[in-house]
Structure 1
């Protein structure tokens, strides 16, 4: 895969296929948006990452299977990259395909969504999943490269509860102390914390919302965890 930073180098980062990948394409006036088709002559491949922002992965896109732009859906809520299942399913092994990105931009990727046939099961656990597990549609898989942690989530028929955490962090000192997204390993079993809506931010600011969701039976415990975790940051939890 390839990573192109057009925020730094919009005139020369991407080359033309017609020149055999030698001549650059000036993309200074190209304005990205989710679902927008890219030029036929762009020398890029599905799964490649194109950034239009020098702040983390705020304005970063994937090239999808139809050569359209797919905007990064930052599930961390802190401006990092989430590689979605619609992209990782295109490759036998997501970790191998994105090895160069994980090596050169190790702090950029927050989560990698995986399918049940991904090579990670053989690479990390020695064998593929049994067919009975692969065929289930109530299980999701995710790898956090920074933590080196593999998450398996089973959807149940339990009654669900949810909270929305809205935040608006401003100022260098506050931003340095901001703990970011509430990690799932701090929550009771079955609970998750995902981005809710859009996220905006700058070098010393972050504004957006997260959605805490899980079994209703433990909602009071989660509410207390969230209040303590974000104490002093003026967040709104409802």
Structure 2
């Protein structure tokens, strides 16, 4: 994978294949646009990144499989790079292919869209997704390099986060299999004001401790100060395992005087 910055070096960044890489092409007057063809003599490959902008990833394009320019579709809305599925599916492992970019420009890439056969599942989670999951067309996978997190979206459900640290493919499969089931939710309200309790306060309940498909997220506003914190967590997941999730939360926050309320009560 190559990254060409034509905003800085429009005359020498890209070489001519016909010269064996010795001569460059002057692209000072080249005006990029989405779908514009890249000349066959440009020494570039599908998946390469070419930028004409001097701010983050504005005016940045990918070379697609047909040697056309594909404009960056910034899903962050803040000028960062989104590597789309149409590009990452060309490679067996998107993270390996773009490793040099992620290393040298760690904050440039906002999201990497991945296919179900991408190498991330074997490399980071231990095994490939089962064929039945790979063949589904209602699931999307997105990797956030800054958070080192894989987000899995099933149908119209909110994206579910999986940390690369400690997650196994089975955890992802378990979530996918229950993602469309009827949901239940409860709120854990807390008001920690004593120094000793504040020091022991465990914070958010990790989804790895909850039944498959359950998550714990901040609910409403959070306030705090010196040895003081007040707020609420919302726990949500499949209704069939709600009692198990409730008991886990009750035990996790035991001794902190929290108030647990089923949503809708």
Structure-2-length-normalised TM-score: 0.60
Partner of residue 57, structure 1: 57
Q: Does 1:122 align with 2:122?
A: yes
Structure 1: distance between partners of 2:71 and 2:83: 10
> Match of 2:78, SS?
coil
Partner of residue 69, structure 2: 69
Partner of residue 207, structure 2: none
Partner of residue 190, structure 1: 158
Where do 4+ consecutive residues of structure 1 move more than 4 Å? Answer: none
Deviation readout 1:84-111 (Å, 9 max, x if unpaired): 0000000000000000000011110000
Partner of residue 163, structure 1: none
Deviation readout 1:190-218 (Å, 9 max, x if unpaired): 269xxxxxxxxxxxxxxxxxxxxxxxx9x
Q: How many residues align?
A: 164
Deviation readout 1:26-46 (Å, 9 max, x if unpaired): 000100000000111100000
Superposed CA RMSD in Å reads: 1.9
Partner of residue 79, structure 1: 79
Partner of residue 110, structure 1: 110
Pick the structure with greater CA Rg.
2
Partner of residue 184, structure 1: none
Conserved 8 A contact 2:56-2:80: yes
Partner of residue 99, structure 2: 99
Unpaired stretches in structure 2, ≥5 consecutive residues? 161-182, 184-217, 222-265
Partner of residue 143, structure 2: 143
Partner of residue 176, structure 2: none
Partner of residue 200, structure 1: none
Unpaired stretches in structure 1, ≥5 consecutive residues? 157-188, 193-216, 218-224, 229-238
Structure 1: distance between partners of 2:34 and 2:45: 17
> Match of 1:142, SS?
strand
Q: Relative contact order (C-alpha < 8 Å, sep 6+): which is higher?
A: 1
